[in-house]
Structure 1
Amino acid sequence: MKLFQKRASGKTLKIFFATDIHGSDRCFRKFINAAQFYSANVLILGGDITGKVVVPVTKISASTYRATVHHQVQDVSESELPNLFKEIRSNGFYYYVTTPDETEFLAQNSKAREEMFHRVIRESLTGWFELAEERLKGTGVQVFVSPGNDDDDVVVSAINQGPFVINPDESVREIEEGVWMLSFGWSNRTPWDSPRELDDSEIGQRLENLAPQIPLFENAVFNIHVPPYNTPLDKAPQLTADLKPVVEAGEVQMASVGSAAVRDFILKYQPLLGLHGHIHESAGITKLGRSTCINPGSEYSDGTLKGALVTIDTGKGSLMRQLIAG
């Protein structure tokens, strides 16, 4: 019976959590380096890991390539390509080296364009996961990468291919003796119709299906991408029917957009820790009952990695936490 489950012996578990890096190569490298910098035992990337834009790098002559980055047209030589690629990737964009003829073909062929986009995503993720293994294999650090609502089946498949990086989505895992992590990357409905959205009632049901796998909630970690509804972690701009921010008296109006099912689930089971993301502008720490819930926020577009460093005393069932940006 759960009432008589033995509490874990006293150990210290240090978790570094980040989320919503949306393809930023600079942020992912900082995420991997956080293990050594903060002496973290566990790295968790909480969802929305892929970018949304591919920048064509078009070969316009024997030695010149052209790309438009941040509305600026850049013509570079072949020797300057590495710096251009780095600039593109740091901002969460992908690049694709092409020709004028192929660029025109892709512009007119949505299926070919989608296949190209998936190809560059797979290549990017493969490179990331190889880097993680190269830097951290043999160190004892566990690396968990969850897909979020913006990450489609191609992303999920790519995460699952990595032998070192672990996809914890829709599972419960013991990440330290007596510390169980429940992970869930889907979101409630959004105006953007992203790939992994569910009705809130189904989110609640899927979470309830996972709950029986946790023997003891006292030290449990809920790694749930969408934040709980009506908290400081889920405030986003209120939108009009045509997806423009609602402005009143010169101020953008904010609204709660998190999941009521997630809120109810946390209040019911009272884990030690909730790790969330999804709403970039709503960084913060709050309490729901005894549960400490964190959204580190995201500023991926300028290469800033926002994260949370959490130290858990497994014997006492207590934690220390701080938000970090760098």
Structure 2
Amino acid sequence: MKILAVSDLHGDVKHITTYLQENKVDLIIIAGDITHFGPAELGEDILNEISSFNIPVLAIPGNCDPESIHINMDNSQAKNIHARNLLIRDIGICGFGGSNPTPFNTPLEFEEVQIYGEAKKALDAIKEQKITLFITHAPPYNTKTDLLPSGEHVGSKSIRKIIEELQPTINICGHIHEARGTDKIGNTQIINPGQISEGHACLIKIPDVTSQEEIETEIIKI
């Protein structure tokens, strides 16, 4: 399975649509900030535009999306996986959108206790799968993927704790544009693909679950 993983659209789909016109993937994962503070209807339009390529789209909202966007996401052709899980080709996938509290009082923020309870429940239900993808908007705390230029780590401590406890195969996150890159927590690979509105994304190639081949990941510029 070839996956295009992106985050932080902020209302801009040109890089995604250009890429999809020229390249084939099996699944698209969007790790939040579909809009730039709304409107919620724009989120639905964006997801439908991306879904028009007849490729499955899984998405979560980000902290810069309005709280009401959940309704529009559920009405779109994409699948909203916020606090939900599913199986695709025996790969377990779940998500949790929004972010831990920020100094900016953005629309979709959650207290750490809520993140831990709801996100862990979603991941716990698929933990027996050989390959699990944990899609979060907020990166895990104290990694290369949550680091501001100031040197401050601003990710979610709950996301980190869940990863430490349940060890998903991959955590795809976003939120901190400057922290594009990868890291590891135990056996879990952490990927912040960067801001897709600036052309940054990640390609993930997952072999058949019965295969002995390794999963391949590559952060790309499109």
- Superposed counterparts of 1:155-304, under 5 Å: 155-162=69-76, 164-175=77-88, 177-237=89-149, 253-298=150-195, 300=197, 304=198
Aligned residues of 2:34 and 2:43 also touching (Cα < 8 A): no
Q: Determine helix, strand or coil for the equivalent of 2:73.
A: helix
Query: Which whole-Å CA distance do the structure 1 matches of 2:79 and 2:59 have between them?
Result: 6
Q: Does the aligned pair in 2 maintain the 1:14–1:311 contact within 8 Å?
A: yes
Cα distance, 1:37 vs. partner?
3.6
Correspondence for 1:306 among 170, 180, 200: 200
1:35 Cα shift?
4.0
1:181-204 CA distance string (max 9 Å, x none) = 010002111001112212212211
SS at match of 1:233: helix
Whole-Å Cα distance in 1 between the matches of residues 185 and 213 of structure 2? 16
2:174 and 2:190 map into 1 onto residues whose CA distance is 10
After superposition, the Cα gap between the structure-2 partners of 1:232 and 1:51, relative to the gap in structure 1 and judged at 3 Å, is same
Q: Spell out, residue by residue over 1:156-205, the C-alpha distance to the aligned partner (whole angstroms, 9 max, x if none).
A: 2221111x211111101112x21010100021110011122122122111
How far apart are residue 125 of structure 1 and its match? 3.4
Contact 2:11–2:46, Cα closer than 8 Å, also in 1: no
Looking at structure 2, the residues matched to 218 and 231 of structure 1 have their Cα atoms a distance apart, in angstroms, of: 24
> Aligned-pair distance for 1:149?
1.5
1:147·1:185 contact (CA, 8 Å) conserved in 2? yes
Q: Could you state the TM-score of these two structures normalised by the residue count of structure 1? A: 0.63
Query: 1:1-326 alignment to 2 at 5 Å?
Result: 13-24=1-12, 28-35=13-20, 37-52=22-37, 118=39, 121-122=40-41, 124-134=42-52, 136-137=53-54, 141-162=55-76, 164-175=77-88, 177-237=89-149, 253-298=150-195, 300=197, 304-313=198-207, 314-315=209-210, 316=212, 318-326=214-222
Q: CA 1:229 to 1:158, structure 2 compared with 1: closer, same or farther past 3 Å?
A: same
2:56 maps to amino acid: Q
| Deviation larger for 191-200 or 311-320 | 311-320
In structure 2, do the counterparts of structure 1 residues 218 and 23 end up closer, same or farther at CA, with 3 Å as the change threshold?
Answer: same
Which 4+ residue blocks in structure 1 deviate beyond 3 angstroms? 32-38, 124-127
TM-score between both structures, scaled by the size of structure 2: 0.90
C-alpha distance in 1, partners of 2:160/2:145? 11
Tell me how far 1:210 sits from its aligned partner: 1.8
Shift of the alpha carbon at 1:299?
Answer: 6.3
CA drift at 1:146: 1.4
Aligned-residue sequence identity (percent) comes to 27
Q: In structure 1, list runs of 5 or more residues that go unmatched.
A: 1-12, 53-116, 238-252
RMSD: 2.0
Change in Cα spacing, 1:218 to 1:267, as seen in structure 2 (3 Å) is farther
The one-letter code of the counterpart of 1:181 is I
